[in-house]
Chain A
């Protein structure tokens, strides 16, 4: 099955700095790569996603880059704000048992200090 590694597990930055979280995956046939933000007591919220035929996608302060050859993708948050503090998860959709199913990373706890 798919193997997803997410780094770092914890990331502490000052307000206004940039934050980068990286995920690697094992299945070259994987085709969809979303990022989720989970705040305490809530379910994960989709913040940005990218398909396998695209190398980069941007939405205001958030961007995702995908390197299919190296099998890794990264979340970039610029001009971080205290409200960006949360746990971020990457996910990879891979083909298994006749369907595309997701495998999530273990999460990165982002702390933005005012």
Chain B
């Protein structure tokens, strides 16, 4: 059984640009959620998808958007990047709508300059 894989592992972008991060969920999982983890902080919930529908969202602006595909992989898109968007972005997958029992990926380190 494969775990959660994220790509790319590191990324540098310029303020104002757009970025797409990718996540492949663990085999058998149908729920994906995304988190932003600033240095020295706990993960902050961005949103989650269950069977291709968004079913929960944290306190993030609309320029953070996402998709879940029929194979349950997912994308996180961030438009109009700001310096404060620099963080580790984590994807997690689980089975079921309630999204308990996460398996996390190792994350994408995004630096905005």
- Report how far A107 CA is from B56 CA in the complex, Å: 23
Taking A101-B45, A101-B48, A106-B42 as contacts, is the C-beta distance between A45 and B59 under 8 angstroms? no
- Report how far A102 CA is from B56 CA in the complex, Å: 10
Are B100 and A93 in contact, with the CB atoms below 8 A?
yes
Binds B, one of A13-21, A36-44, A66-74, A75-83: A36-44
Are A101 and B4 in contact, with the CB atoms below 8 A?
no
Are A32 and B42 in contact, with the CB atoms below 8 A?
no
Secondary structure at chain A's binding surface: helix, strand, loop or mixed?
Answer: strand
Question: Which of A1, A41, A89, A96 contacts B43, CB < 8 Å?
Answer: A89
> Smallest distance from the beta carbon of A21 to chain B beta carbons, Å?
13
Chain B interface residue count, CB cutoff 8 Å, equals 25
- Report how far A42 CA is from B90 CA in the complex, Å: 10
Are B48 and A43 in contact, with the CB atoms below 8 A?
no
Q: Is B58 an interface residue (CB 8 A)?
A: yes
Count class of interface residues, chain A: 20 to 34
Are A49 and B101 in contact, with the CB atoms below 8 A?
yes
> Smallest distance from the beta carbon of B59 to chain A beta carbons, Å?
7
Q: Is B20 an interface residue (CB 8 A)?
A: no
Question: Which of B42, B58, B98, B105 contacts A105, CB < 8 Å?
Answer: B42
Q: Is B66 an interface residue (CB 8 A)?
A: no
Q: Is A29 an interface residue (CB 8 A)?
A: no
Q: Is B44 an interface residue (CB 8 A)?
A: yes
Q: For B42, what are the chain A residues with a Cβ–Cβ distance below 8 Å?
A: 6, 89, 91, 104-107
Taking A42-B106, A44-B90 as contacts, is the C-beta distance between A32 and B48 under 8 angstroms? no
Q: Is B41 an interface residue (CB 8 A)?
A: yes
Q: For A44, what are the chain B residues with a Cβ–Cβ distance below 8 Å?
A: 43, 90, 102, 104
- Report how far A42 CA is from B43 CA in the complex, Å: 13
Q: For B100, what are the chain A residues with a Cβ–Cβ distance below 8 Å?
A: 32, 34, 49, 93
Chain B residues with CB under 8 Å of chain A are 4, 40-45, 48, 55-59, 90, 92, 98-107
